[in-house]
Structure formats: structure tokens, C-alpha cells
A and B are shown apart, each in its own frame.
Chain A
Amino acid sequence: MKPKDDNPAQDDSATQLDENISRLLKLAADPGKPGGAFTNSLVESAMSELKWLKAGARREQRNVTATISQFEKAAAMIAVVCGAGFGILVTVLTKTNSLFAVIVLMGMFVNWLIYFGGLML
């Protein structure tokens, strides 16, 4: 009569029995060196893991680079706008010979730079 269940991986008991038979038979195998299938499978799994970890590290690095470049863009825009405004004001005020106003404006500009710098950091 044909066996009712000849597929070893169909239920838990078959899996447990398989696991135990595997462990017992390995005792009878040539000791001192691992099976070829085990070695190959382990090398391949470890290499996949290594590739995955390296890809993860690269992704993280890209995110950090992207954050830094966004910060730099914003800082550059603020610097350009402030620089242009400051230039215009200094030119106008120099023409009117108001030295005091120029000094006050320069002080304001420096304070704004410090303020923006603080916000960014």
C-alpha cells in the first residue's frame, strides 16, 4: 500500500522528525568538515547580507548628503538676498553721506546673519 503521507515537509511533526534525523545522520557523516551544500549556501547568504548592508549604508550616506545640500542652498539664498539688499542700502546711504546710518545698517546686517545662522544650526 502506498504511504499516506510521503511528503516530509507537510506538517510540524514531519518537520521535527526531519530536523532530528538530519542532526542524527550528521553524527554518522565524516566529522571534521562541513557539507559542501552547507558551505555554499552559507557563503551565498552571507554575501547577500553584506550587499544588503552596504546598500543600506550607501542609502543613509545619500540622505545625509541630501540634507546637507538643502541646508547649503537655503543659506546661500539668504546670503545672496541679504548681500544684495545691503549693497543697495549702502550705495544709497553713501551718496547721502550719512555715515551713522551706514554703521547702524552694517550692525543690523551682522545681527541678521547671526540670527539666521542660529536658526539654521
Chain B
Amino acid sequence: MGFAKGDDGIWREFISRQVPQLYRVFLKRWPNPALAEELVQKTVFNAVRGLDSYDPSKGSPEQWILGIARNNIRLEIRRRASRPSPNGDIEHYLEKMDAQPLPDEVLERRETSEIVRMALARLKSKEQAVLKAKYIEELSANDIALQMSITEKAVHSLLYRAKASLRRQLECLAALNEKG
């Protein structure tokens, strides 16, 4: 069987098909796209490295990779249980976001995504566009420059201003949220 032997074509098609499905599985568990991407990546690499452990008699490749995903969910639950849960308001974490990673639990709060959407909506359209291109579409500065018809240097400057504006808006909205 091509899958068990690691056939390139079959695997490429398999991974391309599984990535969105695994992403949805993780997102359903934790509403945190960055974490979902991290876990999808971990699961795919676990599958590639553990190819020898695939046994066709025990189920389909889809069931097999789903089993790996479930195992990664268990490991993530265990990882969360072993560390102190973050307490404190969003504002407190946003103030320190240039020095320490935002805890997953903070990102998964409903109000965090609302604050981010509102903060993004308050930015100038060019700033919104450059942030989305850089952090959501993950384009290079060169590609963004081509897309926006500006120089690469102008992209860096715009990005710098956009990040500063976003940060100001986030802190301002988080403070309002705490008061409200």
C-alpha cells in the first residue's frame, strides 16, 4: 500500500486534505487559531515520523492521524494542568506583550477576540491591510510591497506604525473593557 510505504503523491494529498480537518478538531477544543496551527503541525510531523507505526489492519490513515491528534489534545490538557492558570485582566497581559508570550487562556477568552476585532477596525485601512498581509496571510515584505504598490522600506515603516497603533488601541479597549 502506497500510504504505508510513504508514497510522495499519496502523502502530499493526504496531508493537504487532513490539515483543515485537524485544524477544525483543535479549534473546536480551544478557540485559539495560533494554538490550533501549532497542534496541527505537531500532529502532522508525529504522523510522518511515526509512519512505521501505521497498521492498515487497525484502521484507515484518517483514523490513525485522528488518533495522533487526540493524543496531542491529551498532552495539551496535561501541559495546561501542570502550570498555574493565568489570573488577571487582559490589560495586564497586553501591557507586557512585547516581553512575554500572551497565555493561551487569555487568548481564548471571548472578550479578547472582540477587543482585537474592535482595535483592528479602528486602524487606518492601510494599517489594517499591512497587518493582515504580514500576520494572517504571512506574506514577505517584498510580496506586501508588490501587493500594495509601495517600496519594501515603506512596508517596514507602515508595519511599525500599524503595530504601534494596534497596541495603543488594544490597551485602550482592554482598559475600557475592565471598567465596563
Contacts and interface: CB of A to CB of B under 8 A. Distances in A.
Contact of B102 (A14, A20, A35, A51): A20
Interface stretch (A37-45, A83-91, A98-106): A37-45
Contacts, number: 139
B159 A27 contact: no
A75 B156 CA distance: 70
Interface of B: 6, 8, 11-12, 15-16, 19-20, 23-24, 27, 31-34, 36-37, 40-41, 44-45, 48-49, 51, 97-102, 107, 112-113, 116-117, 120, 131-132, 135-139, 156-157, 159-161, 163, 166-167, 170
A28 B37 contact: no
A29 B27 CA distance: 13
Given A29-B33, A37-B139, 5 more contacts: A8-B159, A27-B112, A39-B16, A43-B12, A45-B45
Given A17-B97, A33-B23, A25 B160 contact: no
B107 A23 contact: yes
- Looking at chain B's contact residues, the main secondary structure is helix
A24 B99 contact: no
B48 A53 contact: yes
Interface residues of A, number: 42
Given A16-B101, A33-B20, A34-B23, A21 B135 contact: yes
Interface string A1-39: 011011110000110111111111111110111111111
A76 interface: no
Contacts of A66: none
A20 B97 contact: yes
A50 B139 CA distance: 26
A21 B166 contact: yes
A16 B112 contact: no
A77 to B, nearest CB: 37
A59 to B, nearest CB: 15
Nearest to B47: A46
A54 interface: yes
B156 A25 contact: no
Most chain B CB atoms below 10 A, which of A23, A29, A32: A23
